[in-house]
Structure 1
Amino acid sequence: AFAEGDMDQVEQVAHALKGSSATLGAMRLSAACRKVEETARMDPLAVMPEDLEAVQRTYAEAATELGQLVAS
């Protein structure tokens, strides 16, 4: 969505992932998503690739941590 400039979609995806990650206790991921969601809503041109990379990085970390939790 970001590559196509569809900031409404970026906001919607960030919002959904923010809530889901908070429910799972992945608070760093939720915070990263909140930043992207709020920026996309308030100033779409201010959404930076670094913010999306932070979401991707914290998503990977959360997935690893949740996988370890499930395996234990």
Structure 2
Amino acid sequence: MKLYEEMISVKEEQYPLTSIFDISYRKKAEDDSIGFIYLHTTQGVRTYYIKEEPIAFIEAYMKLKAERPELQ
């Protein structure tokens, strides 16, 4: 999952930032458990597996959205 100025790219899928409402994640308390990251989009919620907590990714997304009102 990669964050760009105008979109988020996941494998061969691309989501324009204007179509994303929010990003959230969930991970069980066990250190080695797989978590889930959720992209809340205009096309519904997209779910992806994650191995690491995506806190920095989500913060970068929120900062980018806050700095660019046209993406809201």
- If the TM-score is normalised by the length of the shorter chain, which range does it land in? 0.3 to 0.5
RCO higher in structure (CA 8 A, sep ≥6): 1
More strand by share: 2
TM-score by length of 1: 0.35
